[in-house]
Structure formats: C-alpha cells, structure tokens
Amino acid sequence: MSILVNKHTKLITQGITGKAGLFHTMQCRDYGTNVVGGVNPKKAGTEVEGFPVFGSVKEAVEKTGANTSMVFVPAHFAGKAIVEAADAGIELIVAITEGIPVRDMLNVHQYLKGSNSTLIGPNCPGVTTADVAKVGIAPGFIHRKGKIGVVSRSGTLTYEAVYQTTRSGLGQTTAVGIGGDPVHGLNHIDVIRMFEEDPETEGIILIGEIGGKDEEQAAEYIKSNVTKPVTAFIAGATAPKGKRMGHAGAIISGPGGTAASKVKALENAGVYVAKTAADIGHIMCVALREQTGRCQCNNDEECR
C-alpha cells in the first residue's frame, strides 16, 4: 500500500504553462504518475508537451476525472488557486508555490475546513510513493520501494532521508514534504497517523526544524498512539532566537520551538533522534533492529 498518491492518482497542474510547472509536470509523468492535463484560463483549448490545457479546474475534473492537483501558480494568486481546486472536488492539493502571503493561507485554511480536500504545503517538495507516483519536485531517481515512511518540513532533508534509506536497502513507502510555512496543510501528526495505519510502512522518519510546536505535539501523539519505530532529526540547533533560518516558520519567537525542546520531547516519547543529518538512515536501521531483533539493512555496519 501507500499513502496519499498511488496508481489511482489522476494529476493536473495549475500553472502548467509556466516554465517550472511544465518541467515538473513532465518529470512527474516520466516517473509514472498519470498526468491528465493542466489549467491556464488564458490558454484553454491548447496543448503543451502532450498535456491538454483547460480553462478551469472544474472543466479539467469533468473531462478527465482528475482527483489531484499540483499548484505552480504565482504566490499572490496561489491561495485562490487552492480554493478553486477544492471547489472543483479535487481530493489532494499539493501546493509547491512558496511565498504565499500568510493572510491568504489563513483564509485557505479556514475554507478547507468545509471541504473534502486535503492540502499538502505550500512551499513544499510534494509527495512521492516510491516506484509508483510522484506529485511535486522531488528527484524521483533517489526513491526505492521499501518499508520506511518519511515526513519532513524540509525539502532537501526529505531528499537526504530518502537517499539514505535507499542506500541502506530499507527504501520507502511514501515520502511527504509538508513544507515549512507557518500556515500549511497536513502536519506531522496527520502523516504519522497515515503511516501507522499503513501495513507496508514498518518504520517512520520525522524531520523537523526550529519554530512552532508541531514536533512537540507530534511527540505526544507518538507516545500514545504509534507502535512502529520512529526516528527524527531536528534542524536549526545553532539558530539564535528571533532569527529566521530558511523557512518562514523556522524562527524561535517564544519560550518553546527550540531544537533542544523538540529533541527532548521526542526522546521522552521513545523516538530515536539523530544528532546530525548524516545519521538519519543509520539511526533508522538501529531503531528497526532494536524493535525486531534483527538487522534489516543491506550492510550490518548500519545497525551498529
């Protein structure tokens, strides 16, 4: 099995005629995703690289049965694009766009409460079910079908965790980049719950960063609800208070949200926390060995 995207995914891209939108749509198609078209009201009725272009998401859904949308619309219009996708009945919306105004995302967040749509992002790399389907900008070649679920606020650290689990032989079920903006769709708990319920996922990697309370809240959830081994890495340990590091949400602005507070909460929940990004795959191997009593990597050294 997998979570979020699979062989039944029918993908459209909002903003398909832009350079980035078209490039990554083609990459998704090449990976094996069923891409059924794109949306640009100004170029409706045309075709680009074999993809039909529709004037609205509603039209695209009616003519193709699309159930997933990838958003590459410019930041100041992206909030409205997400709402349009939800109105059209799109089940999964993956917003790649970065720099969407927080006020716009607050409106989107409130609006989606009354819909059946699930949002990933914005400002995220998307989601990849290994060897099946990719919706987003992650490099497909580093993924290999396996047993580890990855959820991360950081795009590049998502890739690092994926590469390390591929190299170790563990592979992935699905890797989900949830994004690092202050207001976003799915959070760590949402995705961890899905991995816990997925029978093919045997271990979970959580990657967080400074700012906010998501990781502390995830730690409480893991402690009470998760039976599978979880490993984690928290980025930003050296960031000074009040200094934004990378993502808009990666800023320590109160008494909590530090790397140290997140690490402590996770360790108290029984999570195996990697000290450096380079140790993520190794710590996952160790966690699986301690849970199952045997090494499951392609190199025994990974488990030591």
Q: What is the mean pLDDT of residues 186-191?
A: 97
**Side-chain half-sphere CA neighbours of 27 within 13 A:** 18
**Position 272 pLDDT exceeds 70:** yes
Q: How confident is the model at residue 25 (pLDDT cuts 50, 70, 90)?
A: very high
H or E element that contains 160: helix 155-168
Q: How confident is the model at residue 47 (pLDDT cuts 50, 70, 90)?
A: very high
For the chain, the average pLDDT equals 91
- How many C-beta atoms lie closer than 10 Å to residue 130's C-beta? 24
**Position 238 pLDDT exceeds 80:** no
Q: What is the pLDDT of residue 88?
A: 97
Q: How confident is the model at residue 243 (pLDDT cuts 50, 70, 90)?
A: low
Q: What is the pLDDT of residue 292?
A: 80
CA distance 142 to 155: 14
Q: What is the pLDDT of residue 260?
A: 87
Q: What is the mean pLDDT of residues 33-55?
A: 97
Please spell the DSSP secondary structure of 192-261, one letter per residue. HHHHHH-TT--EEEEEEESSSSHHHHHHHHHHHH--S-EEEEEE-TTPPTT---SSTT----SSS--HHH
Please report the domains of the chain, with CATH numbers, ordered by start residue: 10-120 (3.40.50.720), 138-303 (3.40.50.261)
**Position 249 pLDDT exceeds 50:** no
Cβ distance 127 to 176 under 8 Å? yes
76 is annotated as an active-site residue? no
The proportion of the chain whose per-residue pLDDT surpasses 90, expressed as a percent, equals 81
DSSP 3-state of 291: helix
The proportion of the chain whose per-residue pLDDT surpasses 70, expressed as a percent, equals 91
Q: What is the mean pLDDT of residues 225-248?
A: 74
**Candidates 24, 143, 184, 247; catalytic one:** 247
Q: What is the pLDDT of residue 297?
A: 81
CA distance 24 to 106: 27
Task: Tell me how far the alpha carbon of residue 111 is from its chain's centroid.
Answer: 21
